[in-house]
Structure 1
């Protein structure tokens, strides 16, 4: 089986770029309209827009047989899904899924990436099922089952909506 990637990643990058560009345009327009625009203020607004882009830049998630990788701007984190020992859901402003393997590697990903990419989720679920069967996955089987049910539900709803049976 080959690697599976997040299908929405390019769109999410473009959305981040559009938000940063809109902020920059709005700040420059306000400065220009109030006759307070200077080179240094323009540079400050550009830096602020770049900071927003970096904050909104999504991680690129990919998976294959027994592995999951999350690549951000400068680094990549990878876990072995067949050696998972823990899968936890971290709640907060932005929920994250934390996967830890027996080798000590950790990956944090947005659960919505998995919900929107069922093929990506199937790769992870296969590895998690193998880790549970081997007795490694001691913490997080409930999280895996809940996420699996959510992926199945959303996929079924998408099929019904596409076929006009909603």
Structure 2
């Protein structure tokens, strides 16, 4: 069974559409303003229009966030150029890199590797649940050799933040 065949149990990033719309809006605004300023200056030519549209498309590609989806036993990250999938029930290593751009690197027993922002997991409980369930299966099977502690710390952090959000929403904090 391929990962993309699991259509019934799919969890996706619930904020991705809004982020994609924001990226499209920024790119459209940049393109529109560039063409209008160039037109007002009297220097707008067809090649310059193509240049501004190309730069707007490049800006959109840079601003578009990767789309994260998960299902039973798999996690996928689709960027503008390619899609990466790992089997969460056959993970071998998990690493977390902190810094300006924190990210997790997941590797499975089939040689697949992907990177994702841990904030996506914190903002999407269904994706986190699918990853956590897959990690538990990897631990039971003995394939996860490195990084179980990283996911354990991340899970506690997500649980703590969720509890704080519930307390804030209920007015108890």
In the alignment, which of 34, 49, 52 is matched to residue 42 of structure 1? 49
In the alignment, which of 1, 11, 22 is matched to residue 4 of structure 1? 11
Question: Which is further off, 107-116 or 85-94?
Answer: 85-94
Corresponding residue for 2:3?
none
In the alignment, which of 61, 77, 86 is matched to residue 79 of structure 1? 86
**Aligned positions of 1:100-139 closer than 5 A:** 100-139=107-146
Could you say what secondary structure the match of 1:131 adopts?
A: helix
Contact 1:4 1:119 in 2 (8 A): yes
Q: Normalization by structure 1: what TM-score? A: 0.89
* 1:164 and 2:171 correspond: yes
Q: Tell me how far 1:157 sits from its aligned partner.
A: 2.5
Could you say what secondary structure the match of 1:37 adopts?
A: coil
Corresponding residue for 1:148?
155
CA distance, structure 2, for counterparts of residue 157 and residue 18 of structure 1: 33
RMSD: 1.9
**Aligned positions of 1:43-82 closer than 5 A:** 43-82=50-89
* 1:31 and 2:38 correspond: yes
Contact 1:79 1:107 in 2 (8 A): yes
In the alignment, which of 67, 85, 103 is matched to residue 96 of structure 1? 103
CA distance, structure 1, for counterparts of residue 27 and residue 134 of structure 2: 37
- In structure 1, stretches of 5+ residues that fail to align are none
Q: What is the aligned residue count?
A: 166
Moved beyond 4 Å, runs of 4+: none
- In structure 2, stretches of 5+ residues that fail to align are 1-7
CA distance, structure 1, for counterparts of residue 28 and residue 89 of structure 2: 42
